[in-house]
Chains A and B, each alone.
Chain A
């Protein structure tokens, strides 16, 4: 027994008390007021199964939400500060991190700000391939959000199908760029390398597969009476409210405002393609979801048109000669020349801003350069999640506690994106 002394089970009586002083980002008056009015405060998150990496402080009267206060920042990674210590070109993969599903759009925004600073015109072929990549990302993100919405409503099939439908999208992105999600494929002046014709044909076939499969998804989830019952007339934002609270993207369009950066300030190949801006008038959770579903179909159409256009554009030359600067042999494939071309990239003095229509809404990049260093002086990123957080919280007001998840899913709120 004595030699096994060390292995004996021991009871450690460590007095562990839960922390008494807890920080809540709300004024003391708010708590006292709720207490006096017989309301109670419910903290949803950050470890709640239906909250994601954020906390929502709810003041509840019975089952009705009186007020919702967000407590974001649990996945803040200080993108803006990190960006100040990296080369311009190294910031592309960094900026991809907040919304990895949305790689095409987030990198496109950053790269366009740089191109604007350098005054580069992107070759025609690169423009169309960028558009294809951006729309593939949009489809992927919308499917991802649809899955999250479904699982919030307890619909597991509605969760699994979009995630399975994402696979062809990701496969298409893999064949284009060589990696599944964080491709960093878009670079200042164009794209990393030309995409062969067979790959584009594969992407075109993927769009038809998706369209067919989405019909099944429509039957089981989108038109499902129990889903409609949960989403219809829930979390309504009127047109005026949506504008006032600064909601962006598909969520603004669901409230009846026809605003799309792709239409208002066309970039890449969007003005030469034929597509619609889906708009709904109700402004409830269901229309927010439907607008995004319709956007998937629009994106499929955009991809097909872009690939049809690409047929007539000769292969090669996907990087602008302005940035290549003597390395013209890299114009169809940057491999081997990347740091020789971009390592010493210095932007002229000034502030350069770009607006992009990312999947979840308007994405703003603002790069400030001091004109002499090869790292940005300051990069400002405002992601769509951060824009519509206020509208999200306001739409919770007056709804039931069980609706929190439905509204959350209808906004597709993605904490890493909002927190940056």
Chain B
């Protein structure tokens, strides 16, 4: 009986209202909505901070917007650099901004071909299952006081879950059972081992700098942004992000001209649409992580009218800046060879990341003293 009472209390409107996103600008409207019986409950649920994190920022809504925007932006930017126009025809007055949506629709109506040699259950399941490690980290990333799950171990959890993504990609390549997918999978595995250690070391360096792994605390401690405290770690993190999201010049597992999209070569229709967005979603998460660790997350001068939304906007802008920087790389670099990328990460980057850890440790000791 006690348990049922607790449960009812946990899903009650009052419980949601205790921990709600406050936006002074539209507070009268929200107050009015809250008084309407059913609508009020839904509004309270959406504005409940964990649910807000899940649905609005950094969750679903922002993710969709970012996906829509960054694919368009990347194509548009590349086109401008290359003396072209880029996406234009769909929603012409807005410069073709919903091109990605149109492509998605087209993917929906295309046939999904499952070839004879594929391991059918895995081939179909994995592109959907991969969204678990891709989307789960969003729950732990805070924007001001808005966070899905608040835990002192947020940073290790996010890094651990992000590290799971390549395992799924390798599984996808294995299930595809094709030559190009096989080569791409091997390359993905090699790259995974190569960037993972510098990546984790740079995160460890930042944990040492702040003396905590709680992301909310990390953001609060950054009166000086982390990129100034430990620029070496920021550099390593940025390069690891390029490798992890297989952007040029490290677009090695998916090299179009060599192995025709590597692990994803056999997918078609909406399945291809799903696997294609994985890299962008991973890029979004790592950009969020970078803005939390190095750019001060939701910090910025407060906007009183927006209340809790101000950190959200600051964080969104910082994340987009990182993503735009990543998108820019595509039009200036050629692809490195696998052995060159491996040499770079196993020698230079490993050394630099060790230096980053040393800097982090020195800062930690200085703080303690």
Are these two chains actual partners, yes or no?
yes
List A residues at the B interface (Cβ < 8 Å): 42, 48-50, 63, 150-158, 160-161, 164, 220-221, 224, 226-227, 229-230, 400-405
Given A49-B256, A50-B257, the answer on whether A157 and B336 have CB atoms closer than 8 Å is no
Q: Is the interface of B mostly helix, strand, loop or mixed?
A: loop
Nearest 10 interchain pairs by C-beta: A154-B335, A160-B82, A155-B334, A153-B334, A50-B257, A226-B334, A226-B249, A157-B331, A227-B334, A402-B337
Task: Give the complex CA separation of A328 and B324 in angstroms.
Answer: 67
B340 at interface, CB cutoff 8 A? yes
B260 at interface, CB cutoff 8 A? yes
If A150-B334, A156-B78, A157-B81 are given as contacts, then 8 extra A-B residue pairs at C-beta distance below 8 Å, sorted by A number, are A154-B249, A154-B255, A157-B78, A157-B332, A229-B336, A230-B336, A230-B340, A402-B337
B93 at interface, CB cutoff 8 A? no
Contacts of B340 in A (CB 8 A): 229-230
Q: How far is the CB of B42 from chain A (nearest CB, A)?
A: 42
Contacts of A224 in B (CB 8 A): 332-334
Task: Give the complex CA separation of A29 and B338 in angstroms.
Answer: 32
Task: Give the complex CA separation of A160 and B83 in angstroms.
Answer: 8
Task: Find A400's partner among B179, B334, B339 (CB 8 Å cutoff).
Answer: B339
Q: Are B331's CB and A154's CB within 8 A?
A: no
Contacts of B146 in A (CB 8 A): none
Contacts of B334 in A (CB 8 A): 150, 153-155, 158, 221, 224, 226-227, 230
Task: Give the complex CA separation of A383 and B83 in angstroms.
Answer: 34
Q: How far is the CB of A41 from chain B (nearest CB, A)?
A: 11
Q: Are B332's CB and A50's CB within 8 A?
A: no
Q: How far is the CB of A234 from chain B (nearest CB, A)?
A: 9
- B337 to A, closest residue via Cβ: A402
Q: Are B256's CB and A154's CB within 8 A?
A: yes
Task: Give the complex CA separation of A404 and B259 in angstroms.
Answer: 12
Q: How far is the CB of A2 from chain B (nearest CB, A)?
A: 29
- A154 to B, closest residue via Cβ: B335
Number of interface residues of B (CB under 8 A): 25
Contacts of B249 in A (CB 8 A): 154, 226
Q: Mark B42-59, 1 if CB is under 8 A from A, else 0.
A: 000000000000000000
**CB proximity to A under 8 Å, residues B84-115:** 84
Q: How far is the CB of A145 from chain B (nearest CB, A)?
A: 15
Task: Give the complex CA separation of A165 and B257 in angstroms.
Answer: 23
Contacts of B333 in A (CB 8 A): 155, 224, 226
Contacts of A226 in B (CB 8 A): 249, 333-336
Contacts of A230 in B (CB 8 A): 334-337, 340
- A228 to B, closest residue via Cβ: B334
Contacts of B335 in A (CB 8 A): 153-155, 226, 230
B266 at interface, CB cutoff 8 A? no
- B254 to A, closest residue via Cβ: A154
Contacts of A152 in B (CB 8 A): 257
